[in-house]
Structure 1
């Protein structure tokens, strides 16, 4: 995969403290954690089918096959009724879709970035301005006569017969949120033209001479901070147990409780805080 710098230049943040200070000031952004800085912003469908010409037909086929069996597993009240909710449900259960998972919490994104990060390879938190993304998606849809007022993006997602007629990225959440989506403060980034890469859909919304760096950011995290970050996030109640409600999430969280920063690094932070007791 091409390096993430193909879209924007990453901002290196060498410590967890500097990352928290940086993210604390971010308002009205949506975030995505990725455990490798080198990974681009790509949907699971894009990764599965690099040839964009194959994706529209494949998406229809996956939707049909998922719809054939979903009634065997979900109660009637949870079966999707609209095109976008079908995609959201498929994504939730692991089917490749055009959707990219985002969260409104930078700390949840930090967890997903760092939980399985390698100590010798940086990971990343991506951030996209939600208000800019929605406003530009609305503009593109209205200019192409693909939707109408007062809520162009909503109308496009829930009423349009075809989602592949415009190059854009729209932020959106499903009509019914699962307990997992509530816990993760989740939403999706929805590319308009599934045959194009996600990043190309994103660039297509830029005005002439507009710098994408004003609306898209990438924060580079040192993988060696993994233990410290996971420890602090546990204290914020951000873990597998809280983000994936249920016994499976709790069981998986126990594995990460075995991860901790080395004693030397902890001692330095404790000394800075004026606390030299290493017994807890």
Structure 2
């Protein structure tokens, strides 16, 4: 893993979009996905295994969620365990998934949205899924090849592994893959969202990526630069009002936008 402490807005742009030229396509189409964190000391631990709290309850949590959520409008469209897992993560249940985005600016938003942490250094993780795909077990790599895809959908995952036990048994070594959830609502669409998942509820993505020699960058953003980034994102309309459509997002945006800067 490469780590870099940035010093300016322009340097940050160069690093976020580095390597985005795709020669076969003749387009600037990056194979990186991004995750922004407001505190650089935070790692990539999923809510399921944060402090080891829920690792043993993964199956119980998911079973109960499916049981009690049935009948809620929209759940009738869910057809696989991956759909249900994505929905649970989307609504805050502890899962092994982590939220990522195809958009570096959305990642910057989540790095700078919390006013109480703007005085802390933040970080953006950048991961090349072409590199992580090479370490996938053969059945998963074959599925990507057959579909001509770079990341999975829930439907593609269900074709290879209909449940988590089957998924975990696909490989003896830890691996990570990225999959796009179904368009459950406008929030997922507007955030250009996708999830990472590893082949075990107790595995650490932080540890896995830390041992990768290629395709992983961690950009540390000093607190003094976060204010400039936040103001420029607001000017570019990368705000809660867009990323969380509805009155809740509007209220979150207004509360942050009009809050005074601490002296």
**Cα distance, 1:252 vs. partner?**
0.6
> Map of 1:1-280 to 2, 5 A cutoff?
8-25=1-18, 26=20, 27-47=30-50, 49=52, 55=55, 57-78=56-77, 80-116=78-114, 118-137=117-136, 140-142=137-139, 150=146, 157-159=157-159, 160=161, 161=163, 162=165, 163-165=167-169, 166=171, 167-202=174-209, 212-259=212-259
**Cα distance, 1:175 vs. partner?**
3.4
In structure 2, list runs of 5 or more residues that go unmatched.
Answer: 21-29
1:228–1:61 Cα change, 3 Å = same
1:242–1:147 Cα change, 3 Å = closer
**Cα distance, 1:28 vs. partner?**
1.5
1:201–1:141 Cα change, 3 Å = farther
Query: Is 2:209–2:216's contact at 8 Å kept on the other side of the alignment?
Result: no
In structure 1, list runs of 5 or more residues that go unmatched.
Answer: 1-7, 204-210, 264-280
Q: Distance in 2 between matches of 1:147 and 1:129?
A: 19
Q: Distance in 2 between matches of 1:134 and 1:261?
A: 43
User: TM-score, length-normalised on structure 2?
Assistant: 0.80
Larger Rg: 1 or 2? Answer: 1
Deviations 1:124-167 (A, max 9, x none): 00010022223332xx2449x99796259667721313222232
Deviations 1:188-212 (A, max 9, x none): 1111122322234557xxxxxxx72
Deviations 1:221-280 (A, max 9, x none): 0112233211110111100110001110011100121257799xxxxxxxxxxxxxxxxx
Q: Distance in 2 between matches of 1:63 and 1:146?
A: 28
Which protein, 1 or 2, shows the higher relative CO under an 8 Å CA cutoff with sep ≥ 6? 2
Q: Distance in 1 between matches of 2:190 and 2:235?
A: 16
Count of matched residue pairs:
241
Of 125-134 and 18-27, deviating more is 18-27
User: TM-score, length-normalised on structure 1?
Assistant: 0.76
Q: CA RMSD in A?
A: 2.9
Query: Is 2:34–2:125's contact at 8 Å kept on the other side of the alignment?
Result: yes
Of 63-72 and 89-98, deviating more is 63-72
**Cα distance, 1:181 vs. partner?**
1.1
Query: Is 1:44–1:98's contact at 8 Å kept on the other side of the alignment?
Result: yes
Q: Distance in 1 between matches of 2:34 and 2:246?
A: 24
Runs ≥4 residues deviating over 6 A: 145-149, 260-263
